Chain A
Amino acid sequence: GDSVTQMEGPVTLSEEAFLTINCTYTATGYPSLFWYVQYPGEGLQLLLKATKADDKGSNKGFEATYRKETTSFHLEKGSVQVSDSAVYFCALSDSDYKLSFGAGTTVTVRA
């Protein structure tokens, strides 16, 4: 079945540091890939998405590129802020009415 593996946290960074969260996937078809973010005490928000190979999703300074050859969708941000502290989830949807999530990576940014 479909699955998502993302790097384990927690990750602690200083402000303005570079953030990378690795995500790889296994799917039988051609899935859409997503990054969701969950701020403390809140629900899940769609951060960015890519629906086909080589697509780059971007939002709020975050980027991720759909790499079919390496089955990856790594999340990056060049300069993080304290407000980026959250749990980040990589997810995929394979046209089967199901969104499969990775385990989540907790990111803490210190001033």
Chain B
Amino acid sequence: DTAVSQTPKYLVTQMGNDKSIKCEQNLGHDTMYWYKQDSKKFLKIMFSYNNKELIINETVPNRFSPKSPDKAHLNLHINSLELGDSAVYFCASSGGQGVYGYTFGSGTRLTVV
């Protein structure tokens, strides 16, 4: 059973389109996250939700809108996609404040053409 699953694995789309990435965790964790990994492999947090409440919103363009319908799901919607949005997006979850570790999904490789 996959602990943190995200779909789709690959996403190729044109500039200006709107797309969504979905994430689900079956670990019973309270907190979920979106991370962005750029072409140099650098990982940066985008959002964090705890029990459906947004608690971290880094300096991300407002074209990116996360939504958490329940604590097991965290989706990421991106409007008006730009070339610079091309990256790998990772969903993750943790118990509490994450001091014992985070579990990551396998990633969604987004390519904007």
Contacts and interface: CB of A to CB of B under 8 A. Distances in A.
A95 B99 CA distance: 6
A38 B35 CA distance: 14
Interface stretch (A17-25, A44-52, A65-73, A75-83): A44-52
What is the size category of the interface that chain B forms with chain A?
20 to 34
A51 B99 contact: yes
Given A95-B97, A98-B48, A98-B56, A89 B43 contact: yes
Interface string B8-46: 000000000000000000000001010000001111110
A103 B41 contact: yes
Closest 10 pairs (CB-CB, A-B): A43-B106, A44-B104, A101-B43, A32-B99, A95-B97, A104-B41, A93-B98, A97-B48, A43-B107, A43-B104
A71 to B, nearest CB: 17
